[in-house]
Structure 1
């Protein structure tokens, strides 16, 4: 049996703000944007394909999302230093600049909702 991951859901307070972040700042493309109940079903993905991020409207009745703890969603780049510079230039905020650890290169950035994500190097 061969399994793969096709989607990862990210809960946000403002879907349009999140779409703007992932497209304008990170460089992903919208692959789906359609009505979904009282909100929208939105998927974004890196150019050329890959795992899709589902930008899901968080329900205000849900408990607050854990802040200051990275989701273990790992994005990978061929050159983490260059990618860091490009993303910072587009307005992406990093809470941890690229550093070389015993296991490899790592960095942490956050989206406009405060969700934290890892960036590694292939």
Structure 2
């Protein structure tokens, strides 16, 4: 890709929690974070919290949802194609989960750390 990509920011760091409501209460009531997103997602919820004014959020995810860093891009399909062509270890396809969920795909760095590239909505 030679430095040309559509990645715009580190948007979300997903951390694994055992009880989403308990974790939400901790981050909001104890640390003073604000809720940025709380919506149904699979069998649970997709919850994002952040300190007031922060650009990057924490996603409080349960088992079955990958933990890790989410980056945003303006065009998931184009970045997927470019990264694969450049030899980056990416998922085989861009994931499309349906209405309200942006296109996304995973990629791995040389040490096997997973990043998830999510298209801006």
The normalised TM-score by structure 2 is: 0.45
